[in-house]
């Protein structure tokens, strides 16, 4: 079946702009996660959704970052007033529930100029 999909695959923006990154989880997966992977590093946890609600957003670096999942399926990660340090690969993962294996999407490569 279809895996996790993410759009866009690449995004180039200018410092100060607003961006939205989209994640389509595997159908039927109730848990959804966002991670950020900087160059040469492993992914770091940002936020976890169970259904429609953000159960843990402790990994979001500051209040410029926000994520939603209004219908319990697709999620959007929103970054306001982007900074060059936000440049990274943003990975989305989903799982059947929060104790099950997480399956990752291909990521969105964000470059802030």
Partner 1 sequence: GEDVEQSLFLSVREGDSSVINCTYTDSSSTYLYWYKQEPGAGLQLLTYIFSNMDMKQDQRLTVLLNKKDKHLSLRIADTQTGDSAIYFCAVSNDYKLSFGAGTTVTVRA
Binding residues for partner 1, rule: CB under 8 A, are: 4, 6, 31, 33, 35, 40-45, 48, 55-56, 91, 93, 95, 98-99, 101-107
Least distance to partner 1 from the beta carbon of 3, Å? 9
CA distances 100 to 4, 48, 96, Å, are: 15, 13, 6
Comparing CB distances to partner 1, the nearer of 7 and 80 is 7
Comparing CB distances to partner 1, the nearer of 64 and 96 is 96
Least distance to partner 1 from the beta carbon of 93, Å? 8
The owner of tokens 């690969």 is 89
Please give the Cα distance from 89 to 110 (Å, whole number).
Answer: 6
**71 membership: H or E segment, kind and range:** none
């Amino acid at each position: 079946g279809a895996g996790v999909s993410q759009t866009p695959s690449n995004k180039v923006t200018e410092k100060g702009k607003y961006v939205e990154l989209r994640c389509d989880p595997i159908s039927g997966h109730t848990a959804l996660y966002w991670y950020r992977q900087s160059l040469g590093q492993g992914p770091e946890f940002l936020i976890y959704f169970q259904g429609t609600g953000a159960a843990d957003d402790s990994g979001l670096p500051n209040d410029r970052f926000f994520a939603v999942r209004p219908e319990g399926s697709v999620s959007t990660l929103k970054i306001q007033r982007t900074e060059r340090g936000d440049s990274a690969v943003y990975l989305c993962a989903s799982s059947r529930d929060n104790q099950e294996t997480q399956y990752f999407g291909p990521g969105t490569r964000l470059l802030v100029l």
